[in-house]
Amino acid sequence: MLNQIIHNATITLQLPYDTSTRAEVAALRAAGIPVDESGNATSGYLFVRTTGRDGQRTNTFRWFATGIGRKADDVALPPSLRPDPQLSFLF
């Protein structure tokens, strides 16, 4: 039997599908995900998956702080990348 490696995202955020790029970038940054003005991760790996059907579609953003093969627990996030505790209802 093969060993299965499971990678848990450091941060997961779900936003409505029709969120504007500006609002998406602001939400990702507020959650602690380092992104540029276009919403691309500046470090780590950001995976986006669209789910749902017409009228109820959402984008789920999963950010991995480390590369594949390392556990997220191995990395301490600097204060500038930690999620805002006042927005904890988002995640």
Q: What is the pLDDT of residues 70-83, one digit of tens each?
A: 555 555 566 666 66
What's the pLDDT at 91? 45
pLDDT at 67: 60
Q: Which residues of the chain have pLDDT under 70?
A: 1-7, 67-91
Position 4 scores a pLDDT of 63
The whole-number pLDDT of residue 66 equals: 77
Cite the beta strand spans of 3-83 per DSSP E.
11-16, 45-51, 58-64
CA atoms within 13 A on the CB side of 22: 0
